[in-house]
Structure 1
Amino acid sequence: MRRKVNDLKPSLPPGVYEPQVIDDFGDVFGILLAITGDGYSYKELNDYVDYLRREIELVDGVGKVSVTGTQQEQVFIEISMQRLSSLGISPQTIYGILETQNLVTSAGAVRIGSEYIRVHPTGEFKNVDELGDLIITETGSEGLIYLRDVATIKRDFKEIPDNLIAYDGQQALNVGISFVDGINVVEAGSRVERRLQELKEQQPVGINIGVVYSQPTEVDKSVSGFVVSLGQAVAIVIIVLLFFMGLRSGILIGLILLLTVLGTFVFMSWMAIDLQRISLGALVIALGMLVDNAIVVVEGILIGMQKGRTRMQAASDIVTQTKWPLLGATVIAVMAFAPIGLSQDSTGEYCRTLFSVLLVSLMLSWFTAISLTPFFADLFFRNVKTSTEDADVDPYAGKLFVWYKSFLEFCLRRAWLTVITLVIMLGVSLYGFTLLKQSFFPSSTTPMFMVDVWLPEGTDIRATNATLKELENKVTQDERVAFVSASAGKGSQRFMLTYTPEKSYSSYGELIIRVNTFEDVIPVMSKLSAMLDADHPELEYKIKQIMLGPSSGSKIEARLVGPIRQSCAVWRRMWLRS
């Protein structure tokens, strides 16, 4: 790709910038830091960030460190036209002399003995002062005239920057840290944080390091929360089993459940599936289904023992009768999630571990039900005494079973009425779904949201930055706001998988706003939206929360293919109708 693009450079029309092949757009910087310095010049801040970057790159597990917000340094030569005229020197003479300086050109080579030595000419400018010593006297002129005699030479940053970043109202540089593939981001984040603490001693007074986003911290919180939820769910299932199935049966099925979850963790490790939100969520979803097979086998063993069968006979009977029906039911449950796991789009890529974990856990539940459950049942029910009088007793003579049997007989005798009732209930359910907010992926519980701001086309980036500062000052007056990070000219570094940074536009700006708690996100977003509508009607903006899954830039997107004039006409009609 690079070779083909480079081959096309000579055929590009004059004035076109050289094309760039960007192959690292998929990098995700799990830690995004904002470096500010009260009273420090941009050059001093940039020097410290360069030192910090080199130190962080040495931390084990860090794959890449990227810095944004840096400005291009340039040498400015301000020529006095009056001085040139008095000396009789044309500006083209200076332009021509400057174009021939600091060029890497071949000066030939010479053979000395058996060696072939290339000649490298010297004379490059080492600093700005040496540039002032450049002789610009034309041929035939008397005396020596230097560039410093007719021009003011200084070194400074690019007059019109490409990207301006601020953090809590101060000029900042963003440092993005990405990790190598397959590493534990929580452990790697701990090493980075520990290294930053060690560098505090060399950190100049007044330099502050703010954390815009920390994936290790967020992952640790979410995984810890899911582990707690998983433990609570397991405990609830076991308590319910103890309550409805008795002490022995409840403990037995709870043990089978724990072994199934443990076996799922083993397979997850073998399949390189990490403990993350989707994989743990799959376990929570499957938890209720993991005990179904074991319940069928345990209940069948108990009923067989009540009918006078031995433990081994009862276990053999129920496993032989139900192993294939249970496998079929398990496969059906797995296939219900197959469209998610086998999807080829970004949703399938994001949720593939959901299907994988459900597949492994449910198939393990079937295996443990027909193998381990009879074994443990023989141990747990060893002291359970059964009499021959219980052989003729109907195990389904209880009130609940009698009522349920009567209800089934009522429905079967009135088959058409039952079918019509079910169809009506299905219709009501489908209508009820229309009243729910439809979103495949919910928003993240991270107390953070972003605001995209577009000014009129052609707005200078410095005017865009001034507008962002005004918005930032208004937003930070709210006590619920923890910090605000602003980026003018383009979006921030890609600090999470579901975030797609905006490309470079001088009229574009972005605000990353973090609030104290997740409950404050919606109220602060509503307040900010009302403020933008009232005080800044000239702005186009979009306020968006962080999503848990992949999402596009807009709720509705359309692509028009065809001649430009016809496409514009179609787009105009669509816009007017909307």
Structure 2
Amino acid sequence: MSTLINYAITHARLTLATLAFLLTAGLIAYVTIPKEAEPDVKVPIIYVQLTQRGISPEDSERLLLRPVETQLKSVSNVKEMRSTGYEGGGYVLLEFEAGFNSDAALADVRAKVDQAKHDLPKDADEPSVQEVNLSLYPVLVVTLAGDLPERTLLRIARDAKNKLEQQPGVLKAELRGARDEAVEIVAEPMLMKSYGISLDQLIAVTQGSNSLIAAGALEGASGRFAVKVPGLIEQPEDMLKIPVTSTAGATVTLGDVATVRPTFKDATSITRVNGKPAMTIEVSKRTGANLIETVDGVKKAVAQMEKTWPAGVKVGYTQDKSKLIRQMLSDLQNSVATGVLLVVVIILFALGFRASLFIGIAIPASFLAGVLGLQLAGLTVNIVVLFSLILAVGMLVDDAIIVSEYAERRMSEGTPPKQAYAEAASRMSGPVIAATATRIAAFSPLLFWPGVVGQFMKYMPITLIATLSASLAVALFFTPTLGALLGRASAVAHDDRASDRGYYMRTVKFALRRPGLILMLAFGLLVGVVGAYSKVGHGVEFFPAVEPDYGQVIVHARGNLSLDEKDKTLSQVEKVVLATEGLKTV
């Protein structure tokens, strides 16, 4: 270690150039590293979604869920399988053992679902197999509300959805609260009877008309041309031209026996924002994309589109996950700045201005070097990483203080700065490495924490190991180099505060003369604290209780309420909630 330290001091230009590179690269990494709310954790849950329009919960259990459950029983490493049937479909949820191979499990589940398809009803929709991924949850919900016609609001919401999906970093935008459009055909019984057309014939013609028929290709001297019979229905008026029956002299079209009008499918839910009809767009970002940049891009795009919308459209934003990341980034920057300032002030009185400057540099240098290491490792900044960085700020200066204090002591005895800092780094390298290794060892067991919580918490030891290792390098190489170039002996002799007449040394000598008593007191204190907390403590919880940003009111009633009954009931609750002060969005 002494050889490396002496090499760093004697090649000061190379060492300082390396320090400048790390600071610059670390600052760029801090600005550009992807930032997201939750870590990209693989939750050991895969679910199969089954839908069939109009099916009852009982029939859903018998016709949809049981065939799929029978096939999924042979999937390996399944901890628990649960299923739920409801009106219109159901789902089967598989919870796997911790540490499962998500790709293999997903492929196995899809293969079993394919085998169960022949047992499902013909009218059932295609089963959907999905895995739970926290990074795919919505990062922002855009609300569009206003007293506008439903078709106008739907057109605005669909245009906004399509444009938001084109924004960088956006994976998908899901439109909620919108009814699917439909075309309603009203047949005239007297006209159908006069033309000799049955209702079954009318239905068959209507269902078989919306298709595109490829008729091969024609080749000639001027090239090759594809031939197709256009039969796609793009406008409601196109349905009026569909031929229903024909004779040698005339053709009866759908418009001759029926009227067509655009409408919507029956509503299954009603969406309101602050008491007004609304539609929402749930925006999800791509894995690894910068959360803050994605949310800012979405809001900027919505602001540009809002200029072209009617004045009655009210735009709002809810469930904005970037707020938490912005707050934690601000707290981190404030913690770093406050830590540097306090360290400089304290060391200024203890060791002098130059030593306080060398030690103060250790915090941003270690912090930026650690962030650079995280980016090179392919990690992102999330709430766990930010918490770990804030936690590490107070530990980044310990190593530099040890080296600088010993060098200041040697310089006060007449040793030149270059020799003093070289001797301090070499002499203190053992204690400094041991102290850093001890702190790293305290957090390393979190790397082996099993289960989903372990995947969530592993970012803490990785972040602390990166930043503490960087602080070790700063204390042993960069701080001695700066001290050798800029260090000066203090005009005032080094204050020996730990004198034999001091209270601290008297306490130390007392403890050294009675080692058995001190060890017994330490052991008794260890057992006593644990026992006392078990008696009078308030228990243990993974996360502390904090004031939530969002609340939810759940109304329970009998299970066969119509949509109008549900709307009337919730409208009464909505009025009470809207009258409550301090709420931003309801």
**Fold equivalence (TM over 0.5):** yes
**1:16 equivalent in structure 2:** 124
Deviation per residue, 1:428-447 (Å, 9 max, x gap): 464278415x3323467663
**1:156 equivalent in structure 2:** 263
**1:427 equivalent in structure 2:** 530
Q: Distance in 1 between matches of 2:193 and 2:314?
A: 51
Q: By how many angstroms is 1:257 displaced?
A: 3.4
**Is the partner of 2:585 in helix, strand or coil?**
strand
Q: Distance in 1 between matches of 2:278 and 2:395?
A: 52
**2:571 equivalent in structure 1:** 469
1:32 aligns with 2:102: no
Q: By how many angstroms is 1:359 displaced?
A: 1.0
1:230–1:283 CA contact under 8 A, matched in 2: no
**Is the partner of 1:449 in helix, strand or coil?**
coil
What amino acid is the match of 1:37?
G
User: What pairs up with 1:164-179 in 2 under 5 angstroms?
Assistant: 164-179=270-285
1:478 aligns with 2:585: no
Q: By how many angstroms is 1:426 displaced?
A: 3.4
What amino acid is the match of 1:469?
S
What amino acid is the match of 1:35?
L
**1:324 equivalent in structure 2:** 430
Q: Distance in 1 between matches of 2:220 and 2:114?
A: 38
Q: 2:389 pairs with 264, 276, 283, which one? A: 283
1:49 aligns with 2:157: yes
Q: Distance in 2 between matches of 1:16 and 1:182?
A: 36
What amino acid is the match of 2:159?
Y
2:188–2:258 CA contact under 8 A, matched in 1: yes
Q: By how many angstroms is 1:181 displaced?
A: 5.0
Q: By how many angstroms is 1:206 displaced?
A: 0.9
Q: Distance in 1 between matches of 2:505 and 2:198?
A: 110
Q: By how many angstroms is 1:46 displaced?
A: 1.1
Deviation per residue, 1:227-265 (Å, 9 max, x gap): 223322333344344455565554443333343334334
2:139–2:285 CA contact under 8 A, matched in 1: yes
Q: By how many angstroms is 1:182 displaced?
A: 4.6
**Is the partner of 1:448 in helix, strand or coil?**
coil
Deviation per residue, 1:170-202 (Å, 9 max, x gap): 221112334455554434444443343333431
Is the alpha carbon distance of 1:328 and 1:382 closer, same or farther for their aligned partners in structure 2, counting shifts above 3 Å?
same
Question: Quick check: 243-252 or 214-223, which moved more?
Answer: 243-252
User: What pairs up with 1:440-479 in 2 under 5 angstroms?
Assistant: 440-442=542-544, 447-451=549-553, 455-479=557-581
User: What pairs up with 1:123-142 in 2 under 5 angstroms?
Assistant: 124-132=232-240
What amino acid is the match of 1:476?
L
Q: TM-score, normalised by structure 1?
A: 0.68
Q: Distance in 1 between matches of 2:449 and 2:536?
A: 23
2:181–2:262 CA contact under 8 A, matched in 1: yes
1:134–1:146 CA contact under 8 A, matched in 2: yes
Q: Distance in 1 between matches of 2:353 and 2:238?
A: 91
1:230 aligns with 2:336: yes
Q: By how many angstroms is 1:321 displaced?
A: 4.1
Deviation per residue, 1:485-525 (Å, 9 max, x gap): xxxxxxxxxxxxxxxxxxxxxxxxxxxxxxxxxxxxxxxxx
1:418 aligns with 2:521: yes
Deviation per residue, 1:343-369 (Å, 9 max, x gap): 464434444443232112211222222
What amino acid is the match of 1:369?
A
Identity of aligned residues (%): 22
Q: Distance in 1 between matches of 2:472 and 2:296?
A: 40
2:343–2:356 CA contact under 8 A, matched in 1: no
Question: Quick check: 455-464 or 71-80, which moved more?
Answer: 455-464
Q: 1:101 pairs with 209, 225, 239, which one? A: 209
Q: Distance in 2 between matches of 1:255 and 1:432?
A: 46
Question: Quick check: 414-423 or 361-370, which moved more?
Answer: 414-423
**Gap runs ≥5 in structure 1:** 485-578
User: What pairs up with 1:95-494 in 2 under 5 angstroms?
Assistant: 95-105=203-213, 119-122=227-230, 124-132=232-240, 147=254, 153-161=260-268, 163-180=269-286, 182-243=288-349, 249-271=355-377, 276-304=382-410, 315=421, 317-343=423-449, 345-378=451-484, 382-384=488-490, 396-409=499-512, 411-415=514-518, 417-428=520-531, 430-431=533-534, 434-436=537-539, 438-442=540-544, 447-451=549-553, 455-484=557-586
Question: Quick check: 457-466 or 77-86, which moved more?
Answer: 77-86
Q: By how many angstroms is 1:43 displaced?
A: 1.0
Q: TM-score, normalised by structure 2?
A: 0.68
Q: By how many angstroms is 1:480 displaced?
A: 1.3
Q: Distance in 2 between matches of 1:367 and 1:127?
A: 70
**1:545 equivalent in structure 2:** none
1:89–1:138 CA contact under 8 A, matched in 2: no
Q: Distance in 2 between matches of 1:433 and 1:358?
A: 33
**Is the partner of 1:202 in helix, strand or coil?**
coil
Is the alpha carbon distance of 1:282 and 1:433 closer, same or farther for their aligned partners in structure 2, counting shifts above 3 Å?
farther
Highest RCO, 1 vs 2 (Cα 8 Å, sep ≥ 6): 2
What amino acid is the match of 1:431?
S
Q: Distance in 2 between matches of 1:144 and 1:65?
A: 45
**Gap runs ≥5 in structure 2:** 1-106
**Is the partner of 1:66 in helix, strand or coil?**
strand
Q: Distance in 2 between matches of 1:243 and 1:452?
A: 60
What amino acid is the match of 1:98?
T
Q: By how many angstroms is 1:158 displaced?
A: 0.7
What amino acid is the match of 1:31?
L
**1:507 equivalent in structure 2:** none
Deviation per residue, 1:353-408 (Å, 9 max, x gap): 43232112211222222233434445666333699xx99x9953251332331442
Is the alpha carbon distance of 1:434 and 1:460 closer, same or farther for their aligned partners in structure 2, counting shifts above 3 Å?
farther
1:72–1:157 CA contact under 8 A, matched in 2: yes
Q: Distance in 1 between matches of 2:549 and 2:187?
A: 54
Q: By how many angstroms is 1:466 displaced?
A: 4.1
2:500–2:506 CA contact under 8 A, matched in 1: no
Q: By how many angstroms is 1:16 displaced?
A: 3.1
Q: Distance in 1 between matches of 2:352 and 2:513?
A: 31
Q: Distance in 2 between matches of 1:433 and 1:323?
A: 44
Q: Distance in 2 between matches of 1:133 and 1:395?
A: 101
2:211–2:231 CA contact under 8 A, matched in 1: no
Q: Distance in 1 between matches of 2:516 and 2:309?
A: 83
1:94–1:136 CA contact under 8 A, matched in 2: yes
Q: Distance in 1 between matches of 2:488 and 2:116?
A: 82
**Is the partner of 1:164 in helix, strand or coil?**
coil
